[in-house]
Amino acid sequence: MHEFSIAVNIVEIATDYAGRENAKVVKEIEIEVGELSGVVVDALEFCMEAAVKDSILEGAETSISFVPGKARCNACSHEFEVHDFLTVCPSCNTPAPEVIEGRELRVKSLLVE
Ligand SMILES: [Zn+2]
């Protein structure tokens, strides 16, 4: 499953970070998932539960925030919400707007001690 390898990757990022900070416990982790990142938040949450077992993230409070898709029209600079890559500009109908938000998939913050 796609989300499972992402969950494993997130655990690796947290483990590396905790190692650099000489931390023994990760208390909180915040993950940002964009609407257009191709990741299903529910599936990622489910996979995180399995991936954190016996890792430094076990017992950490995990929060996943969802970032809605947003694009800017290349022709008229109008900014609007998008839910896929096929949306045309609602004000001038130009296709292929530039996606400016919603592709992110990242660890936003980590609280260690
Ligand atoms: Zn436009």
The CA 56 to ligand 1 mean position distance, Å, reads: 47
Tell me which fold the domain 2-68+102-112 belongs to: hypothetical protein PF0899 fold (3.30.2320)
Residues with CB under 5 A from ligand 1 (ion): 73, 75-76, 78, 89, 91-92, 94
The CA 47 to ligand 1 mean position distance, Å, reads: 39
Instruction: Over range 50-70, report the average pLDDT.
Output: 95
Q: Percent of the chain having pLDDT more than 90?
A: 95
Instruction: Over range 36-56, report the average pLDDT.
Output: 95
What are the φ/ψ torsions at residue 93 (nearest 5 degrees)?
A: 65, 15
Domain boundaries, given as residue ranges, for the chain: 2-68+102-112
Q: Which residues lie below 8 Å from residue 8, measured CB to CB, with a gap of 6+?
A: 51
pLDDT of residue 1: 57
Q: Percent of the chain having pLDDT more than 70?
A: 99
pLDDT of residue 56: 94
19, two tokens: 């190692």
How far is the C-alpha of 19 from the C-alpha of 6, rounded, in Å? 20
Look up residue 5 and give its DSSP letter: H
What are the φ/ψ torsions at residue 30 (nearest 5 degrees)?
A: -120, 130
pLDDT digits (tens, 9 = 90+) for 62-86: 999 999 999 999 999 999 999 998 9
pLDDT of residue 47: 96
31, two tokens: 């993950």
Cα angle at 25 between 111 and 9, to 5 degrees? 75
Instruction: Over range 48-74, report the average pLDDT.
Output: 96
Contact 70, 101 (CB under 8 A): yes
